[in-house]
């Protein structure tokens, strides 16, 4: 068995890993928006707290 060194913050490997995670999140969000458009309803771009009616 080989041991794996911990990722150093700011290392190229850590940066690539975080960029990959960000790309996955963007792809998921784009797919959700596309699915919502298929149903003719606006997709939530970001979760925002609902305002209470005054």
pLDDT tens digit sequence for 1-54:
667 777 788 899 889 999 999 999 999 999 998 888 877 666 566 666 666 665
pLDDT of residue 23: 96
pLDDT of residue 48: 61
Spatial contact of 20 and 14, defined as CB atoms under 8 Å apart: no
**What gap in Å lies between CA 3 and CA 7, rounded to an integer?**
12
User: Which pTM does this prediction carry?
Assistant: 0.53
**What gap in Å lies between CA 12 and CA 6, rounded to an integer?**
13
Q: What angle do CA 47, 48, 53 make, to 5 degrees?
A: 140
In the chain, where the domains are located: 12-43
């Amino acid at each position: 068995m080989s041991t794996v060194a911990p990722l150093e913050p700011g290392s190229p490997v850590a940066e690539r890993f975080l960029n990959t995670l960000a790309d996955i999140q963007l792809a998921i969000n784009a797919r959700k928006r596309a699915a919502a458009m298929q149903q003719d309803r606006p997709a939530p771009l970001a979760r925002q707290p609902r305002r209470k009616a005054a």
